[in-house]
Amino acid sequence: MHQKVLILDFGSQYTQLIARRVRELNIFSEIIPFNKAPEDLSSYKAVILSGSPHSVRSDDAPRPDLSKIKGKIPLLGVCFGAQFMAAHYGGKVEASSIREYGRANLKTIHTDDAFLKGIEMNSQVWMS
């Protein structure tokens, strides 16, 4: 059986690019709308929450139930997905006075985490 990652899609224009990058690592990725997540996640090695045109601070923003995922398999949020997780788990998400779009340097905190294995400390990333 091959490794498989579930991507929950919130309508991001980059979801297909995320899936392609995962597949380039020889890991199968399956894209499913966020509101159609399967009950049984045991066949997945991880879940990725995509970006979204919504703001996590909006009343009409998607709010998926993460209880089936939390603590069971790794969960990665990208853009909206990361903001949703921060807000959902008690963090504060605020608007910035400057737009954050373009190239940036990734700075890791936990360099011994298996999830970050092989990623250089100051890798160049793309913010959108």
Q: 51 with 83: CB under 8 angstroms? A: no
Per-residue pLDDT tens digits for 35-86: 998 989 999 999 999 999 888 998 899 898 888 888 889 999 998 999 999 9
Instruction: For residue 116, name the pLDDT band (cuts at 50, 70, 90).
Output: low
Q: Which CATH superfamily is domain 4-100 in?
A: Class I glutamine amidotransferase (GATase) domain (3.40.50.880)
Rounded to two decimals, the pTM is: 0.79
Residue 7: name the closest of 63, 49, 54, 62 by CA: 49
